[in-house]
Structure 1
């Protein structure tokens, strides 16, 4: 078993691949000293131009700023000459997209309301800190069964905003884009969300 794990700066052993993106791979990680399991997102800096690398670092600032029970926690960032490692809380229960596929006939209303309220709480908290996620989709909501929680993840398109400021960047996943983004129009990031307990 030890031969399948690779190391990250002597701090984490890396195991199987959990997911892939355009410039990144997410792997299962295990802390060398504590044995804690984590998700390690590895961003290949050699494939990013200066602007994309700067934007990635801005997104890390947003991720560090957002500390909420319904947002996946960013534990640490390891920056090497070729790779940026983001060490995050590990979601043991998969994502909302797979959950929907497994529950083809639907879920009990009280369960759906509980999940939805947690997502809205996370978004509301982000907006209070003037952070906009900009890529809300089922794949970016993950389950933590032991905590009884769903959490928002992947702040790769996130941005800081000022109230009243209009954003113009076209970003996020095309299938989930708002009409304003598809039309190339500016959009308001400062709407307020109010959540009551469910």
Structure 2
């Protein structure tokens, strides 16, 4: 996906637009399929700075109604392009800013339940996300759902085996990760983060 367009392996073509987000190793841009007009999000990952094979494999593995769908992957020597469905409603971080006084408990419960289902499904596949935060929960108003995105820090785990890699976002890290200890990712890290994601940010008025 160059400044203008990018040829797909199947003959399709995307035209890149404005930047939707930017991280240490990746840029996410709005793109439009030239033939169909479909809007998508294209995550452009710098392969020279990050090993992206795990994210590529996991993103293809995880297929769930509450996980952002990966349409295809375009691989070049220096950049990996992940072409994904576009979240028209923005992310949970902006949603929180728009609802500083909190939202109705039923609404918060519905959003929370959808993310829990996505995380539980990942764990069934022995996939741990390791970066649950408001910016990685996105809204699809037309579908009436929220979805989990950005598997850049995700990994496969073996049940009963502890992980030691310290990763993710500091503000949402479990105590074990902050202390540099080994941790059971699905039992400790994800549960701690998914709970603090909603409670500590004040999404639930009554908690």
TM-score by length of 2: 0.85
The residue that corresponds to 2:156 in the other structure is 160
Residue aligned with 1:30, SS: strand
1:16-41 CA distance string (max 9 Å, x none):
11000112111001112221110001
1:105-154 CA distance string (max 9 Å, x none): 11111101000000100000000010000000111000000000000000
Once the two structures are TM-superposed, the CA of residue 72 in structure 1 deviates from its matched residue by 0.4
| CA–CA separation in structure 2 for the residues paired with 1:165 and 1:33 | 47
Q: Is 1:32 aligned to 2:34, yes or no? A: yes
Q: Within the alignment, does 1:170 sit opposite 2:172 as a pair?
A: no
Shift of 1:69: 0.3
User: Where do 5+ consecutive residues of structure 2 fail to align?
Assistant: 192-207
Q: How many Å apart are 1:82 and its aligned residue? A: 2.1
Task: State the distance in 2 between where 1:81 and 1:65 align.
Answer: 23
Say which of 110, 117, 121 aligns to 1:121. Answer: 117
1:84 counterpart residue number: 80
1:9 Cα deviation (Å)?
A: 2.3
Distance apart, 1:189 and its partner CA: 2.5
Cα distance in 2 between the residues matched to 1:44 and 1:169: 21
Aligned-residue CA RMSD (Å): 1.5
Residue of structure 2 in register with 1:196 after alignment: none
- Unpaired stretches in structure 1, ≥5 consecutive residues: 194-198
Q: Distance in 2 between matches of 1:100 and 1:190?
A: 26
Tell me what 2:131 maps to: 135
